[in-house]
Amino acid sequence: MNKRNILLALVILFTFTGGIFTGVLYSKNNTDQASKPLTIEEASESTKSLKEKGIPEEDIEESKVLLGYVQDFRDPNVVDYSKLTHVIFSFAHPTSDGGILLNGDSAINNLRTMVKKAEKHNTKVILAVGGWFHINGGESYEPFKAAISNPDSRTKLVNELTGIVEREKLDGIDIDFEHPRSKADAANLAAFAKELSNQLHPKGKELSIAVYAKIHAVTGTEMGFVVYEPSTFQHVDHVNIMAYDGQWDGGYNAANLSPYPFTEKIVNYWANLFDQKKLPKEKLVLGVPFYAQPEDPEIKQVSYAAIINENPANAVSDTVSMNGTIYHYNGVKTIQKKTNLALDNGFGGMMLWEAGHDSTGDHSLTATIFKELSKSSDILAKK
């Protein structure tokens, strides 16, 4: 998940769903052994597209995407593939020398099961690289930064990711570098995106990137400590805006998780940026949270599903009293408004973190977004 204050963000991410798994190191020297681990190590679990292949150009402009991140420990059976155009399996963890790590055999098995299930619904499977936490502990920023800063390790990482896409029959890669914090970082990220694009796109694969919202939840002004080189976005199919986790801006306030006015400012910022840089706004994808933030920071976040399980009537609200605190989240009405906000601004669709937090049945937020997108997209409606 993206964090607005680097020091404070680590605290809340530790409260996010956690666990311990084993790590698998993939090597480009093992292209004939797709799942064989070279090393096994103890690892902390991860916390936390795209031009349509084979669709005529005129239809691409009309289609809308619904991308759902799915954590690597998640049971693939809980994902509603019928509503998603893409599932983004999270995460592969970069090493400083350009290798990648996955959370053991269970993650690989979940990924392969996901590929099989997604295929039945014509849903694409993307592998996300990066995220906030690293499999070896701490943030992913340092090893990711090191990997893409050196031309040799950058090329190695590109080859590793391309290799796993081909071995596991995936549809592409999602870059989640959290976050480029200097002009040098931004330039290296742009170079990485270009090189990865040059490998994936000729093979009919896709490339997306998750980006920081860039707007302060309290002041509504641009946040300058995360830096992007606009040329980066020329090389990707979708730019997934992490328009949530505003609770740390200006001091902890759970109500700033992702309220609608905050999202409006984020949408305006990115729409204006893409207009100014003459980039297609259809690449922009608005992200929404499927979890709730507690007013008491000592209490853990909860999923939207847990809120609905407490009382289905909570679906139409954005706050609930549970576990001795007040939680702030996005209910059905807010999700509907945000989806239409994205559409009204020419965005290419919606993204959610994360699919495993959704409720099932009538109060599903995935189904809510799908319904709104389907009204404006014949391609999505036919899924």
Report the alpha-carbon distance of residue 179 to residue 305 in Å, rounded: 29
Domain assignment of residue 1, yes or no: no
More confident residue, 37 or 109: 109
> How many domains does the structure of the chain reveal?
1
pLDDT in tens, 124-159: 999 999 999 999 999 999 999 999 999 999 999 999
Name, in order, each residue with C-beta under 8 angstroms of 359's C-beta and a sequence gap of 6 or more: 304, 305, 307, 308, 309, 315, 365
Least confident window among 30-44, 105-119, 205-219, 330-344: 30-44
Confidence (pLDDT) at 327: 98
- Give the residue among 264, 253, 254, 258 at the shortest CA–CA distance from 331: 258
Does some domain include residue 65? yes
- 34 by Cβ neighbours in 10 Å (0-12 / 13-18 / 19+) ranks as middle
Collapsed DSSP state (helix, strand, coil) of residue 70: strand
Structural domain harbouring 216: 6-381
Q: Is residue 303 part of a domain?
A: yes
Q: Is residue 270 part of a domain?
A: yes
- pLDDT tens digit string along 51-94? 333 333 333 345 899 999 999 999 999 999 999 999 999 999 99
**What is the DSSP secondary-structure string of 232-289?**
GGGS-SEEEEE---GGGTTS--GGGSS-HHHHHHHHHHHHHHHHHTT--GGGEEEEEE
Q: Say if 365 falls within a structural domain.
A: yes
| Tens digits of residue pLDDT in 165-186 | 999 999 999 999 999 999 999 9
Distances (CA, A) of 233 to 26, 148, 176, 377: 28, 17, 13, 23
DSSP conformational letter for 230: G
Dist. CA 354–CA 212, nearest whole Å: 16
| Cα 220 from Cα 206, distance rounded (Å) | 33
**CATH code, domain carrying 311:** 3.20.20.80
